[in-house]
Amino acid sequence: MLALLAAASIATAVDAERAFIADSHSSGQWTAFRKWADDDAIMFVPQPVWAQEFLNDRKDPPRSIDWAPAESWVSCDGQTAINRGPWTSASGERHGYFTTVWTRSHGQWRWLYDGGTPLTVRINLPAKPRVTRARCGKPPKAGDKPEALSTASRRNGNPPVSGGGRSADGTLIYEWKVAADGARHFEAKLWDGNGYRTISNQYVAAPSE
């Protein structure tokens, strides 16, 4: 019964993000990242790595970074979402923003993609996350949908340098690519009833060190 109540309280990707954050502070940063990561989750260091393999037995830092969702874009079927918002290092000296792709399967949310970039100025967090859902009344037809994207899978060996995915109903799509120097591009689009609208077009510079 308690498990059912807990699952019901995590209804959206924003709920999942907040539970993820809470776990990072109560259980440890990397412990929480492992708990909430999908088996095929990708993160960047700066080249792509399989999150479960990279985080396996990784020791938690004394204090977790802190982050919060400011925006969430959700597929029409409610099973795929992209969250974005600010993060702050445990010391409070470094800031940036994150982007996390979430998918829901069998009632459980798991993240598939986690990436971010440092910023010189702290981002102010809105009082309430802004949630935008794809248009449901006029779903994309087969001819409107983009070709299938090469979703990353650990079954295929080493992480690819590019990939992407889309919701089952085709109303939320995303692609990413990493250059040899670690620079990264992430683009996502949401169906608005007539076509796909770009909701995120991020270029992350190669690390300076």
pLDDT for the residue 134: 97
Whole-angstrom Cα distance, residue 110 to residue 40? 10
Is the pTM higher than 0.75? The answer reads yes
Q: Are strands 71-74 and 196-204 parallel, antiparallel or unpaired?
A: unpaired
pLDDT for the residue 9: 77
pLDDT for the residue 66: 94
Domains of the chain: 2-204 (3.10.450.50)
**Low-confidence residues of the chain: pLDDT under 70:** 1-8, 142-155, 209
